[in-house]
Amino acid sequence: MEKDGSLIGQNMFMKTVIEADEGGIVPVLTMGPICITPTFKRKGYGKALPDHTLEKAKGLGYGAVLFEDNIAFYGKSGFDHARNFGIRYHDLPEGADDSFFLCKELIPGYLK
Ligand SMILES: CC(C)(COP(=O)(O)OP(=O)(O)OC[C@H]1O[C@@H](n2cnc3c(N)ncnc32)[C@H](O)[C@@H]1OP(=O)(O)O)[C@@H](O)C(=O)NCCC(=O)NCCS
């Protein structure tokens, strides 16, 4: 993200896959790290940046995005707990707190 020719923020996406229990893989993206330069924080850019880039990812045809952060922040950008899509975090012990692990479908029903 640039403002007046200066870089004020960034968001990154990586291609990855969900390994399905019954075999096979589901191509998805991971998001982050995302950041806004300190002097521009708390001005709305940290909300605008994921919203804009998630729209771009959707436009490129990606079906879902995984992210590790706080649902209170990123629920506003349409993320839900990944567990609600039936997705477990690789190597996290059964019963461990997975509330940090978030997911957003870009194509409705993509993860069904
Ligand atoms: C997280 C980060 C990207 C937010 O950027 P920002 O430009 O300050 O965010 P915004 O101004 O768009 O605020 C978005 C919402 O988050 C809230 N928020 C932002 N920073 C917050 C903070 N430190 N504590 C509590 N709430 C915060 C805002 O109140 C706002 O909520 P609202 O719409 O209800 O008012 C920025 O603080 C940052 O770069 N942090 C360091 C890197 C990081 O932690 N990235 C996330 C993990 S990859």
Residues 84-102: what's their mean pLDDT?
95
E strand or H helix that includes residue 77: none
- Ligand 1 centroid – CA 22 distance (Å): 38
State percent of the chain over pLDDT 90: 96
Q: Is the shortest distance between the CB of 35 and ligand 1 below 6 Å?
A: yes
Q: Is the shortest distance between the CB of 45 and ligand 1 below 6 Å?
A: yes
Average pLDDT of the chain to the nearest whole number: 97
Angle at Cα 31 formed by Cα 99 and Cα 100, nearest 5°? 10
Here the CATH number for the domain that contains residue 52 is 3.40.630.30
Within a domain: 112: no
Number of domains making up the chain: 1
Within a domain: 35: yes
Full residue range of the structural domain in which residue 27 is found: 2-105
pLDDT at 16: 97
Q: Is the shortest distance between the CB of 34 and ligand 1 below 6 Å?
A: yes
Ligand 1 atom nearest to 42, measured from its CA: 11
